[in-house]
Amino acid sequence: MEGVLGRAKELLQSEGWWQPGDGNPASGRRCAHEAILDACNGVSRLNGKPAVFILSRIVAPEGRGTSIELVEWNDRRGRTREEVMSAFDQAISRAREAGR
């Protein structure tokens, strides 16, 4: 899980973060959820579920750890790239602590 989260963060850093209303996503930029799915490197996207869960629990601690919660958080007006990167850092740290 730490590897998927790390690769997802790298994708966001190198190709850009995106949210609705922020131009054309066809430029290669991704939302947090898409970055996790793409970070699975062609392996079943189900492998991204644990990463989605941990990141969702960080950004919506009262939630259930769903992809919908992550997408809603990413898409919330006023969200910043820095907030997204910080959430990934926290998720990577938690995954590392859990040994995943």
The domain ranges of the chain are: 2-98
pLDDT of 29 reads 87
Instruction: Give per-residue pLDDT as tens, 7-22.
Output: 999 999 999 999 887 7
- Core vs surface per residue 37-66: b (16+ CB within 10 A) or e: bbbbeeeeeebbbbbbbbbbbbbbeeeebe
pLDDT tens digits along 36-77 = 999 987 666 667 889 999 999 999 999 998 899 999 999 999
Q: What is the pLDDT of residue 100?
A: 62
When pLDDT is cut at 50, 70 and 90, the band that residue 35 belongs to is very high
pLDDT value for 46: 64
What the block records as the tokens of 89 is: 């850092």
Closest CA to 56 of 48, 45, 64: 64
